[in-house]
Amino acid sequence: MTGAIAAPLTAHWSRIMKRWNGWGDEATTYPLPDVAAAYLEALVGRGEPEPDAEFPSAIASVPPSRLPSHSLVSDDPAERLLHARGQSLPDWVALRSGLIGVFSDGVAYPTTDEGVQSLFAFARKTAARLIPYGGGTSVVGHINPLKGDSPVLTLDLSRMNRLLQLDQVSGLATFEAGVRGPDLEDQLRPQGFTLGHFPQSFELSTLGGWIATRSSGQQSYHYGRIEDTFAGGHLETLAGPLDLPPLPASAAGPDIRHLVLGSEGRLGVITRAIVRTRRLPEVEQFYGVFFHNWQAGADAVRAIAQAEIAVSMLRLSDAQETETTLALSGKERLVRWADRGLRLLRYGSERCLLVLGVTGGGGAVRAAYRQATSVCRAHGGLMPLRPIGSIWRKSRFLAPYLRNTLWEKGYALDTVETAVPWSAVMPTAAAIKASIASALTEFGERVLVFAHLSHVYLDGASTYVTFLFRRAHDPEETVERWRRLKASATLAILAQGGTISHQHGVGLDHAPYLTAEKGQVGMAMLQAARRALDPEGMLNPGKLLAGE
Ligand SMILES: Cc1cc2nc3c(=O)[nH]c(=O)nc-3n(C[C@H](O)[C@H](O)[C@H](O)COP(=O)(O)OP(=O)(O)OC[C@H]3O[C@@H](n4cnc5c(N)ncnc54)[C@H](O)[C@@H]3O)c2cc1C
């Protein structure tokens, strides 16, 4: 087994030109082959695309700024447009239709703690609201300015992007919090270290954003979620600076770091983060393993997790996701060949694909591979296929680009995610999928829905559900279809006792459901923390805590 570990994870990451109304780098596309278009048409009907609004006309809709001038603040309409929305489905509809409505009055790019403090003083003087902004990749409305009488100032942290210190003995790296994933890894890897935090939004999302939303990377099974790697750092709050020392463990009362994790810009601006890094692994490899059905695959994945076998990733698609991934892959001949072979081996229409990763030192990786594949075999898994794992590795950050292509063909795509204990995983996945599948019956629309188990724990797993439906001619109706889908899926999650978000956070879209998860007392604790650090309610109002 070998793996080109020190190489960049994406070929072009330092030259990225961010799309203003879709996902990712302008120069990267994910073409949809004719056979894939026909596949989608058969499942949900032919897409009827509407033309998108042009950038200049969207800029023309930006109103004059309500803020006076400040040396760190730009009121340029193009900058304000580029920071107006994130990546949620309503954000896409707004940007593509040009009906954006609300904009920040200015965008500031602080480069120091003092810069952030001076922007706080400016906001106090002008009664402005402040939105900390990392990469703007939120999928739940975290960074959207809201309508109101107060001016809104977006604090874009992207110019705070340096590695300040690497303690090689402890493996602790201190970064400015606006550093994007690729720039973070580019600064660590030459020194032989990696953070290993790879959300699918890796190209554009930032360390501060990961902490503020409690994000989870593709190999969280090995590297941990962001809360496992966030060791400390520094926040500028409206009540003063807050230092979080990087203690490996502490019994000194509740851990303040856990209040900062998931704080969604409500408690302060994270300007520096100290993270636990690892030595670059000697070996990294991915494999595809087919199972006869989802239950067999899920049993294998649970057995691997509960035996604590040291794999780095377990990502199990259901049958519909397995079929759709192959249909949309553009590798028609390979898929036909694989289908024939799999059927001969009696892996029929219920077959499911597990992508299994192993990462680490040579001996440990060989042992993990042997143990994991033996569990897979015991559950009817086919022998591990390395070419499938290599295809997954190559396209690990490419899949979100499909959303651009699908949109242009007249389809909208979104996801919901949750986590539950193992005993509830399969019923929860079934309930979410059933609720989504029937949510648009009233509109006479069909929905393609599929799922995977992605982040796996000793006691449970996350379920990640994707749904695809036709856009309406009227943008507001597209949003209404999405609202129905999102609400019915979220209610199904709550009915099963799942979290309202395993990794995307709360933002605007999940805020109405937070009390159902935290309870009245839990909400009062969060509100008290917010009031202690931001008594005037200046930071990112309306997000996380609805109505505050
Ligand atoms: C295509 C795609 C794939 C994705 N895949 C994943 C995935 O695999 N795993 C996952 O967990 N998420 C994923 N996401 C969701 C998103 O990328 C994460 O929520 C990410 O952590 C957001 O980081 P960001 O830097 O873009 O933050 P932003 O979107 O800019 O901000 C998110 C929130 O964090 C706050 N914030 C940002 N920076 C700071 C700071 N320095 N100080 C204080 N508050 C701050 C903001 O105020 C806001 O409330 C995906 C999103 C997309 C569009």
Separation CA 414–CA 476 (nearest Å): 16
Residue 8 predicted with pLDDT over 70? no
Probe residue for ligand 1, chosen from 213, 234, 504 as the CB with the greatest number of ligand atoms within 8 Å: 213
- Answer yes or no: is the C-beta of 209 below 6 A from any ligand 1 atom: yes
Q: What is the pLDDT of residue 205?
A: 98
- Answer yes or no: is the C-beta of 136 below 6 A from any ligand 1 atom: yes
Q: What is the pLDDT of residue 134?
A: 98
% of the chain at pLDDT higher than 70: 97
Contacts of 282 (CB under 8 A, 6+ apart): 5, 360, 361, 362, 365
CA nearest ligand 1 atom 23, residue: 209
Q: Tokens 């009121």, residue? A: 75
- Answer yes or no: is the C-beta of 132 below 6 A from any ligand 1 atom: yes
Confidence class for position 3, pLDDT limits 50, 70, 90 = very low
Q: What is the pLDDT of residue 524?
A: 98
Q: What is the pLDDT of residue 469?
A: 98
Q: How many whole angstroms from 335 Cα to the centroid of ligand 1?
A: 34
397-429: per-residue pLDDT in tens?
A: 999 999 999 999 999 999 999 999 999 999 999
C-alpha neighbours within 13 Å on the C-beta side of residue 196: 27
Probe residue for ligand 1, chosen from 9, 85, 137, 392 as the CB with the greatest number of ligand atoms within 8 Å: 137
139-180: per-residue pLDDT in tens?
A: 999 999 999 999 999 999 999 999 999 999 999 999 999 999
Residue 322 predicted with pLDDT over 60? yes
- 500, 514 in Cβ contact below 8 A? yes
Q: What is the pLDDT of residue 34?
A: 87
280-298: per-residue pLDDT in tens?
A: 999 999 999 999 999 999 9
Q: Rounded mean pLDDT of 232-254?
A: 98
Q: Which two tokens stand for residue 221?
A: 């099974």
Separation CA 204–CA 25 (nearest Å): 9
Probe residue for ligand 1, chosen from 95, 111, 138, 198 as the CB with the greatest number of ligand atoms within 8 Å: 138
Confidence class for position 267, pLDDT limits 50, 70, 90 = very high
- 186, 112 in Cβ contact below 8 A? no
State how far the alpha carbon of 108 is from the alpha carbons of 19, 97, 208, 340, 540, in Å. 20, 26, 16, 57, 15
Q: Rounded mean pLDDT of 105-122?
A: 98
CA nearest ligand 1 atom 52, residue: 201
Separation CA 286–CA 305 (nearest Å): 17
Separation CA 125–CA 130 (nearest Å): 13
Separation CA 101–CA 153 (nearest Å): 16
Q: What is the pLDDT of residue 87?
A: 98
- Answer yes or no: is the C-beta of 133 below 6 A from any ligand 1 atom: yes
- Answer yes or no: is the C-beta of 542 below 6 A from any ligand 1 atom: no
Sequence length of the chain is: 548
Residue 2 predicted with pLDDT over 50? no
State how far the alpha carbon of 3 is from the alpha carbons of 289, 314, 359, 361, in Å. 19, 18, 9, 11
Mean pLDDT of the chain, nearest integer: 95
Confidence class for position 10, pLDDT limits 50, 70, 90 = low
Q: What is the pLDDT of residue 13?
A: 54
195-228: per-residue pLDDT in tens?
A: 999 999 999 999 999 999 999 999 999 999 999 9
Residue 1 predicted with pLDDT over 70? no
CA nearest ligand 1 atom 22, residue: 209
The better pLDDT of the pair 434, 50 is held by: 434
368-399: per-residue pLDDT in tens?
A: 999 999 999 999 999 989 999 999 999 999 99
Residue 334 predicted with pLDDT over 90? no
Q: How many whole angstroms from 213 Cα to the centroid of ligand 1?
A: 6
Instruction: Locate the DSSP E strands across 300-369.
Output: 313-317, 352-360
Closest CA to 263 of 106, 88, 457, 132: 132
Contacts of 525 (CB under 8 A, 6+ apart): none
Q: What is the pLDDT of residue 332?
A: 84
Q: What is the pLDDT of residue 16?
A: 78
Confidence class for position 329, pLDDT limits 50, 70, 90 = confident
Probe residue for ligand 1, chosen from 142, 201, 509 as the CB with the greatest number of ligand atoms within 8 Å: 201
60-109: per-residue pLDDT in tens?
A: 999 999 999 999 999 999 999 999 999 999 999 999 999 999 999 999 99
Q: Rounded mean pLDDT of 526-546?
A: 98
- Answer yes or no: is the C-beta of 454 below 6 A from any ligand 1 atom: no
Closest CA to 481 of 494, 473, 472: 472
Q: What is the DSSP string of 136-194?
A: S--SSSTT----SSS-EEEEE-TT---EEEEETTTTEEEEETT-BHHHHHHHHGGGTEE
Probe residue for ligand 1, chosen from 195, 200, 236 as the CB with the greatest number of ligand atoms within 8 Å: 200
- Answer yes or no: is the C-beta of 297 below 6 A from any ligand 1 atom: no
User: Could you give the 3-state DSSP secondary structure of residue 200?
Assistant: coil
- 315, 443 in Cβ contact below 8 A? no
Q: How many whole angstroms from 121 Cα to the centroid of ligand 1?
A: 26
Q: Which residues pair with 107 in a beta bridge?
A: 74, 154
Q: Rounded mean pLDDT of 270-278?
A: 98
State how far the alpha carbon of 432 is from the alpha carbons of 299, 406, 421, 498, in Å. 20, 23, 15, 11
pTM of the model: 0.97
Q: How many whole angstroms from 91 Cα to the centroid of ligand 1?
A: 14
Q: How many whole angstroms from 461 Cα to the centroid of ligand 1?
A: 21
